[in-house]
Amino acid sequence: SAVISQKPSRDICQRGTSLTIQCQVDSQVTMMFWYRQQPGQSLTLIATANQGSEATYESGFVIDKFPISRPNLTFSTLTVSNMSPEDSSIYLCSVIDSTSGNTIYFGEGSWLTVV
Amino acid sequence: GENVEQHPSTLSVQEGDSAVIKCTYSDSASNYFPWYKQELGKGPQLIIDIRSNVGEKKDQRIAVTLNKTAKHFSLHITETQPEDSAVYFCAAKRGGSGYALNFGKGTSLLVTP
Residue pLDDT, tens place only, A4-27: 999 999 999 999 999 999 999 999
**β-strand pairing of A110-114 with A10-13:** parallel
Angle of CA points A65, A70, A76, to nearest 5°: 80
> How far is residue B56's CA from residue B1's CA, in Å, rounded to a whole number?
26
Cα B36 to chain centroid distance, Å, stands at 7
**Mutate which of B2, B46, B97, B105 to disrupt the A interface (most A C-beta within 10 Å)?**
B46
Chain A, nearest residue to B35 by Cα: A104
> How far is residue B73's CA from residue B27's CA, in Å, rounded to a whole number?
13
For chain B positions 80-99, those within 8 Å of chain A (CB to CB) are: 89, 91, 93, 98-99
Q: What pLDDT score does A51 carry?
A: 86
Q: What pLDDT score does B2 carry?
A: 67
Q: What pLDDT score does A53 carry?
A: 85
How many contacts, defined by CB atoms under 8 Å, are there between A and B? 54
Q: What is the pLDDT of residues B45-91, one digit of tens each?
A: 999 999 988 899 999 999 999 999 999 999 999 999 999 999 999 99
Q: What pLDDT score does A15 carry?
A: 97
